[in-house]
Structure 1
Amino acid sequence: MTLRLAFVPGATPDKWARAWRDRSREPLELVPIEQDEQREVLLDGRADMVLARLPMDTEDLYCIPLYEELPVVVLSKEHAGAAYDELTTADLVDEQFALGVPEGVSSAVEQLPFPEMSVKDAVEVAASGTAVVVLPMSVARLYHRKDVASVVVTDLPTTRMALAWRKDADDDRTQAFVGIVRGRTSRSSRG
């Protein structure tokens, strides 16, 4: 039976997938999904487990926090902020935001009514110099272009990544994958 692991943009399941393939006879299928699907894929059975970006409704799910991601602002290489390694939310007060003003940022300018767009489109808008976009660092890396810079925003909260699966689907197979994610070797016990 195939173990299906879904993952959101920016998540990197490679090392765990390699370890699973080395230890298990069962195949592993990696299922790329959008962030707004991360709970739904578990509930509708398209995936057994998901590498998710929190927050997420975890009712009826087991959820193991894995690591945190730094927030970055993606802006045109021509933008004055591109010259810095770090910025604060105060440095972003006069910016237009392609995906809306992030929580924790106070904008002093009236925001342009951008149409709904994908993250890839928002990065393209940032490259044009029309607006900026705040993203988790891994997502900014995924959509990186030569004409943009990604600068850490030091006073925004980090994003937390987690492994989640349905409580009613907790079995030896999911626990074997949890063991891999937690760094247990093939010879270690579950304790």
Structure 2
Amino acid sequence: MATGGSRRRPAHRAGRSSGAPAARGKAPRRPDARAERAAPPRPDERPGDRVPAGPFRLGAVPGATPGKWIDIWKERMPRNPLELVAVDVADQRAALRDGAVDAAIVRLPIERDHLSVIALYDEAPVAVCSVESALTVADELTLADLAGEIVIVPRDDVLGAVVPDAVTPAFAPLETTADAIATVAAGTGVVLVPMSLARLHHRKDVDYRPVVDAPGSSVALAWPTDATTPLVETFIGIVRGRTANSSR
């Protein structure tokens, strides 16, 4: 017969409600899962989209003006910075081939093997001359108006214009358009370039006039076809004027 108030407490049984064995410690949480739940959706995402982290590298040849597209990118893709990479026309194909950039604003023509290309706009050709040149009297010029002028063709020329009866410079071909325009500023010759390059290298001692029958320069967006990533698709959408909510 039991006496007094010394009752034995029943032993605690682990996992009483589920029948599971006692846990030795708490299972670690998946920090990535929690981060995924907490992260707000990206402005350009739709259900099922998986936009990778990291920067988008956009190449741009001299004279290209991607500013408005970059501004839209910054608004829609705040977690994916856009890195603008200067690319010479002579190196534009290699930059895409070697993966130095994800996509590039290029000048046509370009070798299109394994590339996707979207035409963007055409640039008018202009003749850059000294502010003291008689050519500045006209509002626009023809190739015939340049007959008898020293026409400088730098090694990085992108127009390939042929001026009948032009005078060949007595000096060796200059390396760059900037060098050619500096020579023109000193009062020697003229150089034909797309208008954007005339503006890029503008100086107070030179001026330019449109040349109505000279070949122009076409600008395009290009990227490796087998590397059409979600980031590339997003930039394509921006260039084509899609809104953040439009379907791809």
TM-score grouping bracket, smaller chain normalisation:
over 0.9
1:78 is aligned with what amino acid? Answer: E
- State the partner residue of 1:107: 165
> What's the TM-score, normalizing by structure 2?
0.73
TM-score, with normalisation over the residues of structure 1? 0.94
Relative distance call for 1:81 and 1:164 in structure 2 (3 A) is same
1:79 equivalent to 2:79? Answer: no
Q: Determine if the alignment matches structure 1 residue 52 to structure 2 residue 106.
A: yes
Q: 1:29 aligns with which of 62, 71, 83?
A: 83
Query: CA–CA distance in 2 between the matches of 1:105 and 1:49?
Result: 34
C-alpha offsets along residues 95-152 of structure 1, whole Å, 9 cap, x if unaligned? 1122269433213434423343211110011111211100000011000001111110
Identity of aligned residues (%): 46
Q: What residue ranges of structure 1 are gaps of 5+ in the alignment?
A: none
Check conservation: 1:6, 1:49, Cα contact below 8 A.
yes
**Where has structure 1 moved over 6 Å in runs of 4 or more?**
none
2:189 is the counterpart of 1:131 = yes
Secondary structure of the 1:39 match is helix
- In the alignment, what sits opposite 1:157? 215
Whichever of the two has the greater Rg, that structure is 2
Which of 1 and 2 has higher RCO (CA within 8 Å, sep 6+)?
Answer: 1
Aligned residue pairs total 190
Q: Which has the higher strand share?
A: 1
Q: Which moved more, 1:89-98 or 1:68-77?
A: 89-98
Q: Is the 8 A contact 2:60 2:104 kept in 1?
A: yes
The aligned counterpart of 2:49 is none
Unaligned runs of 5+ in 2: 1-53
The answer on whether the counterparts of 1:5 and 1:31 sit within 8 Å (CA) in structure 2 is yes
